[in-house]
Amino acid sequence: MTPPDLERQLKLQPHRLRIALVALANFAILTVVLALYAWIGQASWTAVCQFGAASIGLSALFALVIARRWNLHVEDKDLMVAQFCVAMAVMLGGLLLLPQLWVLFLIGVIDIFIFGMMRFEPRQFIFAWLLVGVFTAAAMYAVRGKLGQMVVSDTSLAILLLYLFMVLGQLMVFGTGVMALRNRLSDRNRQLAESVDRVQQLAAHDDLTGALNRRAFMQLLADERARALRYGGLFAVVLLDIDHFKSVNDRFGHQAGDAVLKAFCQVANTGIRTTDRLGRLGGEEFIVLLISVAGADAARIAAERVREAIATHDWNLVVPGLSLTTSLGVALFEGSDTVETLIARADRALYAAKDSGRNRTVMA
């Protein structure tokens, strides 16, 4: 067993021991109830002692095996099948020993079966159902002439109701545990879903600016192209490049440059619609996807809003003494465009904006 597997199994040991101790307690309770029937003369003390010794002794043996970690050397480390079979055998043995108290043992069989079915695999459950049904029927048939009426006095009725009450209490505790487990699983599923969302967000966004990273933006752009080809409609891409950004790093340092990039994305986002998406291609180069634009003029106007937002922003709030502008190249999607050709047209327009003096928008 590898160290990680051993560590996981050791963490499960307290739970396994609790299950074994619960089984031990259940048989001890049943033995006490049988002793009460022996006390009022409805059962043999010898048979009660035999049942108690077998049931409590075997349950204690399972608890000892788990406490000493001997169960870790076998395939079924929970010992669930073994405990289930032994418990059923003991219960049906008690039925053969004390047939006049058959109701108690049938209740016990049902109690054990309910507990076991929550732990078995579907195939094991079907096998257990058939096995228990056949052997219970055989035991009942074997003592059919000795099955008497248990309730012969108010005392015997009180003992029967006491045992029934305790079994219902056990089932209530078991059901509460199942409910708590289900709630924990629900909480963990919710936490897992939130973690997956966070991971997806981190995987799709640039660490520094929070804008979509290149991979995520390219996938978004490919999806939008496929949608436009299938359903029609126009969209555009805008390439943005911060003018003379290298001088920002040279004059103010790279830490200030990082602050400028973050603020640039924040300001650019104020100039686009909530349906549009901003991405970072790398360095000081960004890209905007304008979804469902009316045409070239509308795309140019949308890009101009971003340019004006950058040009009019008070960059002194970010780095004292700083002013900042951006150049933009806009390309409207045409039916023959691939993602690469669309971006290439926008890139040519961006270079045209730089060559013509920067701080301007050029349409491809």
What pLDDT, on the 0 to 100 scale, is given for residue 63? 93
Give the residue numbers annotated as catalytic, written as ranges.
284
Contact 280, 206 (CB under 8 A): yes
| DSSP character at residue 252 | H
What pLDDT, on the 0 to 100 scale, is given for residue 155? 84
Contact 256, 319 (CB under 8 A): yes
What pLDDT, on the 0 to 100 scale, is given for residue 55? 94
Q: Sign (positive/negative) of CA torsion 16, 18, 21, 23?
A: negative
Closest CA to 279 of 264, 293, 294: 264
User: Mean pLDDT throughout 95-108?
Assistant: 89
Residue 261 has pLDDT above 90, yes or no: yes
DSSP 265-333: HHHHHHTS-TTSEEEEEETTEEEEEEES--SHHHHHHHHHHHHHHHHHS-GGGTSTT----EEEEEEE-
pLDDT tens-digit readout, 38-91:
999 888 999 999 999 999 999 999 999 999 999 888 888 888 888 888 999 999
pLDDT tens-digit readout, 169-227:
766 766 676 677 677 788 888 888 877 777 777 778 888 998 999 999 999 999 999 99
Report residue 300 as tokens.
């140019």
Classified as helix, coil or strand, 354 is: helix
pLDDT tens-digit readout, 222-251:
999 999 999 888 999 999 999 999 999 888
How far is 93 from 98, CA to CA, in rounded Å?
Answer: 9
What pLDDT, on the 0 to 100 scale, is given for residue 123? 79
SS3 content of the chain, % helix, strand, coil (to 5): 70, 10, 20
User: Mean pLDDT throughout 305-311?
Assistant: 95
pLDDT tens-digit readout, 271-289:
999 999 999 998 899 999 9
Show Cβ contacts of residue 281 under 8 Å, excluding neighbours closer than 6 positions: 214, 217, 239, 287
How far is 84 from 106, CA to CA, in rounded Å?
Answer: 15
Residue 325 has pLDDT above 90, yes or no: yes
The CA-based dihedral angle spanning residues 211, 217, 220, 221, taken in that order and rounded to the nearest 10 degrees: 130
Looking at per-residue pLDDT, the higher value among 335 and 278 belongs to 278
Domain ranges of the chain: 3-193, 214-363
Strands of the 277-282 sheet, one edge to the other:
277-282, 285-291, 235-242, 326-332, 361-363
Number of Cβ within 10 Å of residue 290's Cβ equals: 24
Homologous superfamily assigned to 214-363 = Reverse transcriptase/Diguanylate cyclase domain (3.30.70.270)
Closest CA to 87 of 108, 66, 103: 108
Report residue 225 as tokens.
């192209």
